[in-house]
Amino acid sequence: MILTTTNSIEGHKITEYKGIVTGISYNSSYTYKGTKMSFKDMFSMKKYYEAYELGLANIKEEAFQKLRDNAKALYADAVVGIKVDIETVSNSSVLVVSVTGTAVRISPN
């Protein structure tokens, strides 16, 4: 499946618009190299930022997988015009990633 932030796909023609699809994922458990961060580790900025970065990457990948699954359910070949929104829930460590795009059927030019 082709995923793109652009509204068209070079070398392909959009033949049918299937609808808007989303993938949403969230998580609040920060881990450092596979283990949950200890209270002491949270004061190490290097470890904290590494855990935040890895956590965000995992949440984002999960959101993209949900987007793909939702597009496949509509028998789409691609998703165009993808937008990614990353939010934090105030006063917590919860990250929310929302990925939205238009599911389409395509054919080669």
pLDDT in tens, 45-75: 777 677 777 778 889 999 999 999 999 999 9
- Helix, strand or coil for residue 66? helix
Backbone angles phi, psi at 61, to 5 degrees: -65, -40
Go through the domains of the chain in sequence order and give each one's CATH number: 2-108 (3.30.110.70)
Angle at 2 between CA 62 and CA 55, to 5 degrees: 20
Q: Which helix (H) or strand (E) holds 89?
A: none
Strand partners, 84: 99
pTM of the predicted protein model:
0.80
What is the 8-class DSSP label of residue 76?
A: -
Report the chain's mean pLDDT, rounded to a whole number: 86
